[in-house]
A and B are shown apart, each in its own frame.
Chain A
């Protein structure tokens, strides 16, 4: 009998647990440890942030589902890793602390045969002084709670604007020089703009984009050359076209260094320092590792064997200049090289480097997006990790046959550009591969044209809505859920 412990119940953790449970016999144990009692479909947070959905529509409680399916659930946070065991317990284990219920505050050692670390990122608001959701007129849409709060703030501002002659300033984008997840901010700004237009108050607002991207449409993926209709255009042109059409102004190359009440301080690549005022801001924070510690059997600190901020996996972490980066640097199996029974899919693995070209301001401040690894790649990497563990348990194989490098994986980003059954729109973008392969596709910015394309229109909105219901159906493990691809 094998015991697989999954840390985290987000897109990666929940996907891994669901596949493990479906394919492993009941003789084997699947345990999920997560501080969150709910599963949330994160891509729909932006609709909660404009009041078009409630948080209840994008979440469901995990415990009843796991009970029905035979997955053990512990609502707890992981504290330390003991991959060799410890003086308290011989077997490899993690120490966890319960965060709710009768056991709240109680610590427990959870042993495992296989460990999947899918703890995602820490939302590192603390890395930008003054950036704190709900404070200083700044908000976030990173969680359903934050998105609910953002809608409350936005709704108040809309009411204020209706009775005021002064223009209100909305600022949306990234809140740290190395923040990622520009896509979520991009969706949110377009949805906010559409909402203001629908409410016929658009003329009372200045809507501005602020980002650490070198140019619009970088999205932390070094931009894309994509097929748009009959043309091949850079993603920067497509985003610029949309922003001009919506009368959205933009600031790029901006590393936000501090937030005050209604003010954001930022530095640009030329080393200049600026201030931008706002009445409402939604700024994506930096993502960081959780600061976990790891110990060997003799209680010596071995954190550097497991973590490099995020978890170390089968990537090539050798420092090298941007010109020498290759797709082979990126991991294939998400297995920790020191402990072969530990894996880290989704956002929990440490990337070898960014995808966008690293840039420093004249004062030495690094201003460029970190690599995005959200949504679809999280699900795909979690499934392949689960499949490898299933093969090891069922077939006794030691070679990992399921591989999925971001350099050999396609992804779709269906970005909402406004909500409405017949007035909404979406920007549908697919990319292949996610990490550009400049050797394979030297003439199309490292990606395969045709498989890398963009389209704007009402169909994109329907598609995003369809995916919302389809992926919640899948996450609830309803009949034939596994047919829906990650």
Chain B
């Protein structure tokens, strides 16, 4: 795998990344604040 020019543009474009920032913040909240618990009954 390598980072193509187009992928680099997507990774570093501030407007696109602003929306990714919101998306990532929400997604991380869902994963992390989504709860935790035991594994034994």
Contacts and interface: CB of A to CB of B under 8 A. Distances in A.
A404 B3 CA distance: 37
B31 A485 contact: no
B31 A380 contact: no
A403 B31 contact: no
A407 B39 contact: yes
B24 A455 contact: yes
Contacts of B39: 327-328, 330, 332, 405, 407-408, 437
A332 B40 contact: yes
Contact of A459 (B21, B30, B40): B21
Given A244-B2, A458-B12, A459-B24, A412 B38 contact: no
A455 B20 contact: yes
A262 interface: no
B31 A425 contact: no
Contacts of A485: 29, 32-33
Contacts of A463: 21, 24-25, 28
A25 to B, nearest CB: 27
A380 B23 CA distance: 23
A334 to B, nearest CB: 12
| Chain B interface main SS type | helix
A161 interface: no
A233 interface: yes
Interface residues of A, number: 45
A248 interface: no
Interface in A409-439: 409-412, 414, 422-423, 425, 428, 430, 432, 437
Interface centre among B2, B25, B28, B29 (most CB of A within 10 A): B28
Interface in B1-32: 1-3, 10-14, 17-18, 20-21, 23-25, 27-32
Bin chain B's interface residue count: 20 to 34
Nearest to B33: A485
A238 B3 CA distance: 10
A404 B18 CA distance: 33
Interface string A440-457: 000000000001010111
Contacts of A408: 36-39
Contacts of A456: 3, 11
Interface in A360-398: 376, 380, 384
A455 B20 CA distance: 10
B11 A411 contact: no
Interface of A: 233, 237-238, 240-242, 244-245, 327-328, 330, 332, 376, 380, 384, 403-405, 407-412, 414, 422-423, 425, 428, 430, 432, 437, 451, 453, 455-460, 462-463, 466, 485-486
Given A409-B36, A437-B39, A459-B18, 11 more contacts: A233-B1, A237-B1, A244-B2, A332-B37, A404-B37, A408-B38, A411-B31, A453-B27, A458-B12, A459-B21, A463-B24
5 contacts: A233-B1, A404-B36, A405-B40, A408-B39, A430-B32
